Amino acid sequence: MTASSVRVGQKAPDFELPDENMKNHKLSDYRGKKTILAFFPAAESPVCTAEMCALRDSLDELRDYGAQVLGISVDGPFANKFFVQNRHLNFPVLSDFARKTIKKYGIVMKKLANMDGYNAAKRSVFILDEQGKVRYKWVSDNPLVEPNYAEIKAHLKKGA
């Protein structure tokens, strides 16, 4: 699957990534429920912290709409574990340390913080339906912009 092929209506590319406790998660294991994939550039950075905490704080409402959340960054599992514990995150945060998943989804942000060779995830949200098809896609080229949480909730509320 090429990076440019992830579009609304298509099946989301599968992946297998470790969480903050080194437990592997396959996207295909989440079928049967709506899934929010929240890609973020860097754990503990100010905007990423705000985004993940906003998802944490609205998790009960998101679950009421039948959705589950997976946070994904290129940070290693150890950094993600600190992030999860420090921010009391209540959903898995997965490590795309090899950067294969962000390539599959076409959301590679080159030169994060103007550092040559440091490629991270663009801040992105994908909502998948129960069959694993992309029903909503939001990708920002600006790492300082947070997603529109009201839009995400409205999309879930209407049935993704």
Helix (H) or strand (E) holding 53: helix 46-57
How many helices and strands in the chain, by DSSP H and E?
5, 9
From the candidates 48, 67, 93, 152, give the one annotated as an active-site residue: 48
Residue 53 catalytic?
no
3-state secondary structure of 50: helix
Longest C-alpha distance within the chain, in Å?
42
Q: Answer whether 92's CB lies under 8 Å from 19's CB.
A: yes
Nearest Cα residue to 97 out of 122, 116, 80: 80
Looking at this protein, which amino acid is placed at residue 79?
Answer: A
Q: Which residues are catalytic?
A: 48
